[in-house]
Amino acid sequence: METPHVRMRGVTRVYPTETGSLHALGPVDLDLRKGEFFAVVGPSGCGKSTLLEMIAALAPPSEGAVEFEGKPIGASVPDGVGVVFQENACFPWLNVADNITFGLRRQPLAKDEIARRLDYALTLMGLTDFAAAYPAQLSGGMRQRVCIARTLVTQPRLILLDEPFGALDQQTRLLMGDELLNLWRATGATVLLITHALDEAAMLADRVAVMSSRPGRIIEIIETGWPRDRDSRIVSDPAFGAVTGRLWTLLRDQSLNALGPAH
């Protein structure tokens, strides 16, 4: 049996508070297959982002074990992992080209190789005409593309996306979703997408995990069954409605729980 690309076993996260402790997540058992597009949906505050941060070694688990490519994840971000956050993480003092190559210039790479990867990322993300522009001159969607390109050029084997389109309008989200699928197919990387948008998860992912309200646990994993060469036009497929409907059926009670007893 193939070793999972990411493996989580009995993972929990408990935060100390002034009055005791807050059980935020888990226990969670999860395997991500190499090269798959995996999405996680769940109610607000269920610990989706915490789950991602533990895989990225940005937050340690309180209990349990997290492995990437068969090795335990320690205190620093493992080699081969790239993260894209929801917030604008562009460096405002650098132009698009310098933003994208920032991480690359920290690696022992020849200038030609850096230039080649930059050209590839600019082309793939549709940013070629904006290489010399500064983030302040770009729209929110373009800034997020810069952040994705900055992760892409480091050629990660695992890409972690923490609600990367959360601040974008619906049309832009669909188009960015297409670009993300192109990127996934072109790189062959494993992708973990955290999102609160059911349609986004249903459109993009091979499998979608549904989490419970806090403390977040995985209550079901749904196989979407989409072909690898899919794009956003899949939203008009009747099967798409069935997948989102199934996700909502699972999530509705959890979301009501998260809103509190008045609901």
**Interface contacts to other proteins, rule CB under 8 A:** 56, 58, 76-77, 81-83, 85, 87-89, 91-93, 103, 106, 134-137
In whole angstroms, how far apart are CA 192 and each of 32, 136, 253?
8, 28, 24
Question: Running DSSP on this structure, what letter comes out for residue 153?
Answer: T
Minimum CB distance to other proteins smaller for 168 or for 251: 168
Q: How far is the CB of 92 from other proteins (least distance, A)?
A: 4
Q: How far is the CB of 91 from other proteins (least distance, A)?
A: 7
Minimum CB distance to other proteins smaller for 146 or for 218: 146
In whole angstroms, how far apart are CA 106 and each of 45, 50, 101, 235?
35, 27, 9, 40
Minimum CB distance to other proteins smaller for 77 or for 131: 77
CB atoms within 10 A of CB 104: 18
Residue 217: half-sphere exposure toward Cβ, Cα within 13 Å: 6
Tell me the one-letter amino acid at 236.
S
* Cα dihedral across residues 186, 85, 198, 145: positive or negative: negative
Q: How far is the CB of 107 from other proteins (least distance, A)?
A: 10
Q: How far is the CB of 58 from other proteins (least distance, A)?
A: 6
Minimum CB distance to other proteins smaller for 134 or for 248: 134
